[in-house]
Structure 1
Amino acid sequence: MATVALLGTFDTKGDEYAWLQDRLIDAGVDVVAIDVGSFSSSTLADVHSDDVLRAAGVDPDDLRERRDRGEMMSAMGAGAAVVARRLFDEGRLHGLLAVAGSGGSSVAAPAMQALPIGVPKLLVSTMASGDVQPYVGEVDATLMYSVVDVAGINSVSEAVFGNAAAGIAGMARAYADRVPATDQKPLVGLTMFGVTTPAADEARERLTDLGYEVLVFHATGTGGRAMEKLVESGLLAGVCDLTTTELCDDLVGGVLSAGPSRLEIAGQLGLPQVVSVGALDMVNFGPRETVPPQFEDRNLFVHNPTVTLMRTTPSEMAELGRRIAGKLAAATGPTALFLPLRGVSAIDVDGAPFRDAAADEALFDALRAGLAGSDVSISELDVAINDAGFGAAAAEALHSYIKGAP
């Protein structure tokens, strides 16, 4: 039978969670109740709040003596993530449901984000009508606005919470019943940007011909993080990371950063990866008037009314090369770097506004120096990234790695 983990603050919302537990059982699923209440020891819980805190590496008595709500919420979130993942790994979780205000939502979010993509996750929250990025992260979480606060069962909350219980029960049953197709094509991740689309399209077409299902991620910060979440979930056979532009925004302060750990998880897990330097010639900002004043004298290009691009300098390109080399040299799996010597984007070619051969060479030199003596294969092609053949060559290299991987 499918099992739903019911996560909440049973000290303040015990009646509501008891009602939800009954609805879930009525809907035909088992329930594992996880108590993340700061000061509760509810008999409703299968996993008590002390257990959650210990999973976070915290002594419950010491933490409660300090009565620091912020510290408590942080520890509960960390512990809830460990507990949820443990239950999933043990085959005892087929869906996760939480019903909460702002504090409970902040605790539920890490638990949802700890679960692989594809595992049903539903958060009914008073915060679901605003900025939900902190709760969703890079996972396929479903958020439902609670309409009323989580304070008793009334005619409105009964309808909303009842729908939530029925929804997660149905999703959990479908997930538990799902049998992986024996003929499913292996999945690979591919990154692209508007200015690397021809290369990505060529790589996608070649990988498709080679028998893969290709998932394309727009390198907008969330795109890179989403792909790496799939890597972490073990769903990808390899990565064709042609467009690493998010690292520029992390370095310089653009709006599309994927964070400093971008380009690390595949290497840590030993996943086959082919990496290139697509769109490292640019930092991304919003409309032209939003570009920070310290960059007014830089080479700026209005890509469209909502996106302004800034050319990276030789010193920034050299630093990007050093950072990428460090990440790739640390990889534990087969890794190749493909360098397009005549331009890293559609606007970094002869006659285009971002063409700067000296800046590109600073990038290439730093990559060569940083990877000298490593196991990373470097392929230097005397073409621009979007020229015919570049994307296909990267795709074929990834295919050879995947076929040769244990």
Structure 2
Amino acid sequence: MGKTIAILATLDTKGAECGCLKGEIERLGASVLLLDMGVVGDSEIEADISNSEIAEKGGTPLTRLRQDPSRDRAAEVMIKGASHIVLDLISNGKIDGLISLGGTQGTNNCCQVMQALPYGFPKVMLSTMASGDTSGYVGIKDITMMFSVSDILGLNPFFRRMLSNAAGAVVGMADADEAIAFDSSKPVIGITNLGVLTKGTMLAMELFAERGFETIVFHAVGPGGRAMEQLMRDGFISAVFDYALGDITDALFGGIRAADKNRLTVAGELGLPQVVVPGGVDHIGIVLDEPHSVPEAYKDRLHSYHNPVILVPRTTGPELVQIMEEIRDRLGTAKSNTVFMLPKKGISSYSVPGGVLFDAESDAIFHDAVRELLPKHIPLIEVEAAAEDKEFVERAVEELANLIETSREQSK
């Protein structure tokens, strides 16, 4: 049986374009369900789910939205209504993918709906905004952004090809048909990673696999940590090796990998087994205006370059104390199935003896701060090794495996 693809758009302004997209999807053997998010005008093509239905589901009749038009208010109502309807369609198995097309406003509204949808469900956004910074549209969801190149205003041979490509993308995703499923008897472990810890992460993955665990690795650069913690809430991740906390550093000191306010709190809130390592807090990630330059604020400290336009200045002793205070506060609600591990010979490849950011004095200050500030109910394990050393990684894997087993026993 062919798949069903939902098209979500403002049909009053994108009717002809959606009609063409519908034809392309049907040509590929899928069915189409048209959802109209338009508010101001009436559509020239008939929607399967009208703008009136979406507005009602969003809590405000369309007639009222039109009486006192407000772009912000209309967007809020239509996003809410469309999210409810699309989620209902997905849960009832009535659609297998979603595609949208739009400019500035349409991209924002349709992507807000997509951000409410499950991971793994095909989501394609054909947008005039997709060649710039799309982080605000994608968030932490698996939304495929496709640049429309031309404005989405009228049909021509060029744009018909763009629509055909977009149709192929969403139908292809729907036909892939690989559902996200995990064996609940084998906990899936979330791992945070940075490039300066990758060797250790790869070893941890091997060691967890030997014990029968699957792992998902997240780049600790802001969105990665948020995505991991959302998957904890969704029930996909049931234990955590929080190996990289560079996003905590950047949240405090204006770096590019900044974590949000919830980072490092969710596993504790949910009571998930977790081993926490302050990997990568030895440097800040700073975007440069000029390649290989050094801003005045960092001229007097150790530094290196992650790439030509990302400077990595070493964190100082006082900054490391602030970082540990932040870690303490975020771990304050963690349950007893949390362990904190300190690699005493370097918290990333940058700061090991001989590394470009090696600073024994700052490390000593940090070690003292860890001992003083770590919440007393969280065990501290100090290891005379660097974060990527086999000795340290093996101990971390063993500690998390023990926490998982203890959690299993307690849940029986």
Measured against the shorter chain, the TM-score band is 0.7 to 0.9
Deviation at 1:247, TM superposition (A): 0.8
What amino acid is the match of 2:249?
A: C
Deviation at 1:26, TM superposition (A): 5.0
Out of 349, 352, 359, the residue aligned to residue 365 of structure 2 is: 359
Instruction: Decide whether aligned partners of structure 1 residues 195 and 27 sit closer, same or farther in structure 2, where only a CA change above 3 A counts.
Output: closer
Bigger mean CA deviation after superposition, 56-65 or 92-101 = 56-65
Alignment of structure 1 residues 208-357 onto 2, 5 Å: 208-287=209-288, 291-331=294-334, 334-350=337-353, 352=355, 353-355=358-360, 356-357=362-363
Aligned to 1:202: 203
Out of 151, 159, 162, the residue aligned to residue 161 of structure 2 is: 159
Question: Could you list the runs of 5+ residues in structure 1 that have no partner in the other structure?
Answer: none
CA contact (8 A) 2:292 2:311 kept: no
What amino acid is the match of 2:317?
A: P
Deviation at 1:54, TM superposition (A): 6.1
Provide, for residues 27-53 of structure 1, a one-character-per-residue CA deviation record: whole Å limited to 9, x for no partner. 444444332223356583444445545
Instruction: Decide whether aligned partners of structure 1 residues 118 and 292 sit closer, same or farther in structure 2, where only a CA change above 3 A counts.
Output: same
Deviation at 1:348, TM superposition (A): 3.2
Identity %: 35
Alignment of structure 1 residues 182-201 onto 2, 5 Å: 187-201=188-202
What amino acid is the match of 1:327?
A: R
CA contact (8 A) 1:267 1:330 kept: yes
Provide, for residues 211-266 of structure 1, a one-character-per-residue CA deviation record: whole Å limited to 9, x for no partner. 23333333333443443454454433432111111110111101222333322344
CA contact (8 A) 1:322 1:366 kept: no
Aligned to 1:383: 385
TM-score norm. by structure 1 comes to 0.83
Bigger mean CA deviation after superposition, 348-357 or 274-283 = 348-357
Provide, for residues 344-382 of structure 1, a one-character-per-residue CA deviation record: whole Å limited to 9, x for no partner. 2234345653331343135404542xx234xx4443334
Provide, for residues 107-143 of structure 1, a one-character-per-residue CA deviation record: whole Å limited to 9, x for no partner. 1222222223321111112223333333333333222
What amino acid is the match of 1:311?
A: R
CA contact (8 A) 2:120 2:180 kept: no
Secondary structure at the counterpart of residue 329 of structure 1: coil
CA distance in 2: counterparts of 1:51 and 1:297, whole angstroms: 62
Aligned to 2:152: 150
Provide, for residues 91-110 of structure 1, a one-character-per-residue CA deviation record: whole Å limited to 9, x for no partner. 44421100212221111222
Secondary structure at the counterpart of residue 383 of structure 1: coil
Secondary structure at the counterpart of residue 386 of structure 1: coil
Question: Could you list the runs of 5+ residues in structure 2 that have no partner in the other structure?
Answer: none
Instruction: Decide whether aligned partners of structure 1 residues 172 and 68 sit closer, same or farther in structure 2, where only a CA change above 3 A counts.
Output: same
CA distance in 2: counterparts of 1:17 and 1:250, whole angstroms: 42
Provide, for residues 157-210 of structure 1, a one-character-per-residue CA deviation record: whole Å limited to 9, x for no partner. 3332233234323322332x7595879975432222233234323322211211
- Alignment length, in residue pairs? 401
Out of 89, 114, 117, the residue aligned to residue 115 of structure 1 is: 117
Instruction: Decide whether aligned partners of structure 1 residues 183 and 315 sit closer, same or farther in structure 2, where only a CA change above 3 A counts.
Output: closer
Bigger mean CA deviation after superposition, 297-306 or 51-60 = 51-60
Provide, for residues 304-341 of structure 1, a one-character-per-residue CA deviation record: whole Å limited to 9, x for no partner. 53432222233332332233233333346943322224
Q: Does structure 1 residue 102 correspond to structure 2 residue 107? A: no
Secondary structure at the counterpart of residue 390 of structure 2: coil
CA contact (8 A) 2:238 2:273 kept: yes
CA contact (8 A) 1:15 1:152 kept: yes
Aligned to 1:8: 9
TM-score norm. by structure 2 comes to 0.82
